[in-house]
Structure 1
Amino acid sequence: MHFELRDYQFLKVKQYLKQKFLLFSNGASQTSTNWLAVEQSLSKSNLKYYKVYNKIALKVLTNSVYNNIKQAIKGTFFFLKLDGNTNLLTKQQLFKKLKSVFFTLLSIKLNNKIYSIVQIKKIKSLNYRSNMSIFYQFLSANLKCVYGITYKKISKQCDLNT
């Protein structure tokens, strides 16, 4: 079986898109001496990177469910993922690490959904269970209120009709 570099790059991009937690970012073009410092700070931050070639990434994303992220791929584009050793990461730690590494965060893929930076800044943490519990509490409180209001209106209308 004969593999070409292009086929390998397609497979690598598809493999990265299967990750549960993935960061999409832009990085500035660096000289080799600066890039060495960037790689060292990435390894200290427990982040792995993969530089994505734009045309290959666009072709892969066109045929995937992440079609909406295509507009973000301009210039030097990177996939960043957490090293396997770190599972707990707060939002503040993540933004602090990326600022020290000279990357601009574009969006985050979390549990097969892509969130923009504006959406990420509004949530309290990156923990899925805590976010879902907050969402459940919000729904239960608001649905009880709405149910109570509509129940009172319906009961008043029924009293008026009889």
Structure 2
Amino acid sequence: MGDMTVAYPTTGIAIPQREAPALACSSCGTRAVALDQPFCAHCGSRVSVSVRSGVASIAATRSLQFAALAVLTNILVGGASFGVVYLLSDAARLTEAAVGLEALRFVIVGVLLAVAIRYGVRGLQQTRDGALKRRAWAIVGLVVSGLYGLLILGSFAATAVLYLFVL
């Protein structure tokens, strides 16, 4: 099973062709298992390709990163909102500005949290069989995103209720 050479009769050029590398079956030890075959030809057991230890799921990592980015963005947008409300001299427009800035914060942070949840779900799917690492990061990203999303939703709902019914 080494290199093969294919000669094209019209051109006379020889092009070396490589066969797919063979693996050893984890059940019977046969070396004739090709990478593109899902089952061993000798014993019929399922062939699994082991991944190097230490390889992490990028989606799980991204989930935690986007959750942290959502928290940081909430702090920055909240600070900017406070500054705008503090500097606003027209008291009649104060409530409108507060609701508008709260809606802006809800949209920006909500999008980041939705992306974090999407990556978290993908990270859980990728790390299900244990071949990839950082399953805990995907879980933490999902939990932080979900809880923080509920807090942001509650804050937006409370502001909207105050604006509509109280003021």
TM-score range, shorter chain: under 0.3
Look at both structures and tell me which one has the larger radius of gyration over its CA atoms: 2
TM-score (norm 1): 0.25
TM-score (norm 2): 0.25
